[in-house]
């Protein structure tokens, strides 16, 4: 008796759906990409319950005639390919003819579509692959409604996350499509509330600004290049604008959002030497490559591509960004090396300018062997570079990373909620966030309040910061809120509490930035405050804040012992 049988088409479709339809966001992606391919200028997306109950995508594109409207639900039915040659010259978002049949097999779908030249359009309703109703319906353009995703595959439905998590995935996806199709207007409502509203933009730059705001854009430089049949337009981090999370990294190839480790690596490597450890650049890369040189048919949801020549792309991206960063960097280093006279004398030659009086003789080393000194305000110090401070005292030499030290101090202050000195701002700050960040921040106002950050909703993805702890007065609020939001979305590692993770994030922003040189008083306050923390030797990320060499250690190092 034969063991092998051909599966019925219903089951085949469900299996295929497993690849394409992972969650509501994947349905929305396929429908939006169909609308893009149909030449739409306006795309509207409505979702209910994180897309679990409804995902509706309406467009003003070409629409379909009656025959196509029935054919489009068939597997491998597409208007975008006709020969094998086409497969290597793909300029459309879709081409596999799989999305609609896959979605149809695991949901209740209704298609209403019509073309301009026909007197009437058509409405087709299908439940779990079974046709329910076909009738004439007035329409120009296309609307696809997908209800009750996975209603007939409970095993898959179980894997769906909370409504708000599913909505975040949808927001992310709409944002990606909107970034690479700036000429199209996008609107997303969730549970009847407007969530994204992006009118047609004049270019990528305007679209990034619509999504993230002007301040965000100011932290980026433009890097454009063209060579060997590849061209790139990109917006990437300035040399001093890095993030704690990888949340703003996008690669688009021929307008298709993709993930590619090698391209990301090329960007990171362009920042070699200036990218601090544990920090991440922001990048928006829009690459245009001859479709014959790439294979987009490697992943069912088309989120990966294969390059004919990977190294060429790597080098191209790497060099183009390196050049842009370098020219911006030269400006940065110039500011650095031309330090004002007063600061330079204080930091390079160290220490000894009146009116400070030192209670002990100051030698070259500043360390007195027979005095068990504790740190005190007038202790001499030397700046080493822009981050390290060398101090004598306690019978030895202490090297302090003043950035890390400050982070430790602030972290504990935030965690305990003490001495934060929150003040109402005379001029409240408006901060424009991305849609996703905006929602997360509004859902977590209380916890920010515990850190002395008082925020109100200002509408249109903007919040208004009314109160801040003193230490955050100068801080980049957009960066903080964006980091806090990613931290909440991505969750915290099990060994940390939520509050600890957020406190570490915020402390990192508020502490002294690399380029700032501290005054003598600030150093002594820093040293005293550090001493009073619970873990003075490590910053919240586990890096050392200070390293101590006793005279004994030094003697050993110099082979005197």
Residues in touch with ligand ADP (CB under 6 A): 30, 34-35, 38, 59, 61-64, 72, 77-80, 94-100, 142
Nearest to ligand ADP of 95, 411 (CB atom): 95
The CA–CA distances, whole Å, from 270 to 111, 246, 320, 329, 476 equal 47, 16, 9, 12, 24
465-486 burial, b if ≥16 CB within 10 A, otherwise e?
A: beebbebbeebbbbbbbbbbbb
Would you call the peptide bond into 207 cis, given omega within 30 degrees of 0 as the criterion? Answer: no
* The entry of Mg ion, ligand ADP, none that residue 241 binds, CB within 5 to 8 Å by partner kind: none
* Close Cβ partners of 414 (under 8 Å, ≥ 6 residues apart): 420, 451, 469, 502, 503, 506, 507
Give min distance, CB of 247 to ligand ADP, in A. 29
Give min distance, CB of 32 to ligand ADP, in A. 9
* The entry of ligand ADP, Mg ion, none that residue 79 binds, CB within 5 to 8 Å by partner kind: ligand ADP
* Residue 86 C-alpha from the chain's centroid: 35
Where does residue 540 fall: left (phi above 0), alpha (psi -120 to 50 degrees), or beta otherwise?
alpha
Cβ(116)–Cβ(94) below 8 Å: no
Give min distance, CB of 207 to ligand ADP, in A. 22
User: Does residue 21 touch Mg ion according to CB under 5 A?
Assistant: no
The piece of 91-99, 300-308, 354-362, 499-507 that touches Mg ion (CB under 5 A) is 91-99
The piece of 97-105, 149-157, 463-471, 476-484 that touches Mg ion (CB under 5 A) is 97-105
* The entry of ligand ADP, Mg ion, none that residue 59 binds, CB within 5 to 8 Å by partner kind: ligand ADP
Cβ(139)–Cβ(62) below 8 Å: no
Give min distance, CB of 33 to ligand ADP, in A. 7
* The entry of Mg ion, ligand ADP, none that residue 538 binds, CB within 5 to 8 Å by partner kind: none
Give min distance, CB of 462 to Mg ion, in A. 35
**Whole-angstrom distance, CA of residue 148 vs CA of residue 126:** 12
Q: Which residue is at the shortest CB distance from ligand ADP?
A: 94
Nearest to Mg ion of 111, 487 (CB atom): 111
The piece of 63-71, 96-104, 225-233, 254-262 that touches Mg ion (CB under 5 A) is 96-104
Give min distance, CB of 30 to Mg ion, in A. 5
Tokens of 409: 């101090």
* Close Cβ partners of 293 (under 8 Å, ≥ 6 residues apart): 229, 307, 308, 309
Where does residue 278 fall: left (phi above 0), alpha (psi -120 to 50 degrees), or beta otherwise?
left
Among residues 303, 295, 307, 305, which one has the least CA distance to residue 19?
Answer: 303
Nearest to Mg ion of 34, 237 (CB atom): 34
User: Does residue 34 touch Mg ion according to CB under 5 A?
Assistant: yes
Residues found near Mg ion in the complex (CB under 5 A): 34, 94, 99
């Amino acid at each position: 008796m034969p063991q092998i049988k051909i599966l019925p088409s219903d089951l085949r479709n469900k299996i295929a759906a497993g690849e394409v339809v992972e969650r509501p966001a994947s349905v929305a992606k396929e429908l939006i990409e169909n609308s893009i391919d149909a030449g739409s200028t306006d795309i509207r997306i409505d979702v209910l319950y994180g897309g679990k109950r409804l995902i509706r995508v309406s467009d003003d594109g070409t629409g379909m005639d009656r025959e196509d409207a029935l054919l489009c639900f068939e597997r491998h039915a597409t208007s975008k390919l006709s020969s094998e040659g086409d497969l290597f010259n793909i300029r459309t978002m879709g081409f596999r003819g799989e999305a609609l049949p896959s979605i149809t097999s695991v949901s209740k779908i209704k298609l209403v579509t019509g073309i301009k030249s026909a007197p009437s359009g058509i409405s087709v309703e299908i439940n779990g692959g079974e046709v329910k109703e076909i009738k004439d319906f007035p329409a120009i353009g296309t609307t696809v409604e997908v209800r009750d995703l996975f209603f007939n595959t409970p095993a898959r439905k179980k894997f769906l996350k909370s409504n708000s998590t599913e909505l975040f995935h949808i927001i992310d996806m709409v944002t990606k499509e909107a970034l690479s199709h700036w000429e199209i207007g996008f609107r997303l409502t969730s549970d009847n509330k407007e969530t994204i509203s992006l009118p047609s933009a004049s270019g990528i730059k305007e679209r990034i600004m619509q999504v993230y705001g002007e301040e965000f854009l100011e932290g980026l430089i433009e890097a454009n290049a063209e060579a060997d049949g590849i061209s790139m337009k990109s917006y990437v981090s300035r040399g001093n604008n890095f993030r704690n999370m990888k949340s703003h990294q996008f690669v688009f190839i021929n307008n298709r959002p993709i993930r590619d480790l090698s391209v990301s690596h090329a960007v990171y490597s362009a920042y070699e030497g200036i990218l601090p450890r544990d920090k991440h650049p922001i990048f928006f890369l829009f690459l245009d490559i001859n479709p014959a040189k790439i294979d987009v048919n490697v992943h069912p949801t088309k989120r990966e591509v294969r390059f004919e020549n990977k190294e060429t792309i790597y080098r191209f991206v790497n060099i183009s960004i390196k050049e842009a960063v370098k020219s911006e960097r030269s400006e940065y280093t110039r500011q650095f090396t031309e330090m004002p006279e007063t600061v330079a004398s204080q930091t390079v030659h160290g220490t000894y300018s009146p009116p400070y009086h030192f209670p002990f003789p100051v030698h070259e080393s500043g360390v007195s062997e027979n005095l068990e000194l504790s740190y005190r305000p007038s202790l001499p110090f030397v700046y080493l570079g822009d981050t390290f401070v060398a101090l004598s005292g306690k019978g030895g030499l202490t090297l302090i990373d003043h950035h890390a030290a400050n982070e430790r101090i602030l972290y504990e202050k935030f965690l305990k909620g003490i001495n934060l000195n929150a003040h109402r701002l005379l001029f409240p700050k408006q901060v424009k966030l991305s849609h996703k960040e905006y929602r997360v921040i509004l859902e977590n106002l209380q916890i920010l309040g515990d850190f002395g950050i008082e925020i109100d909703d200002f509408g249109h993805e903007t919040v208004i910061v009314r109160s801040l702890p003193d230490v955050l007065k100068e801080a980049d609020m957009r960066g903080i809120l964006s980091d806090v939001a990613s931290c909440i979305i991505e969750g915290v590692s099990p060994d940390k509490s939520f509050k600890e993770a957020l406190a570490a994030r915020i402390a990192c922003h508020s502490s002294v930035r690399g380029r700032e040189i501290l005054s003598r008083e600030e150093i002594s306050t820093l040293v005293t405050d550090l001493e009073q923390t619970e873990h003075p030797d490590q910053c919240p990320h586990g890096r050392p804040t200070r390293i101590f060499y006793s005279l004994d250690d030094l003697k050993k190092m110099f082979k005197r012992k």
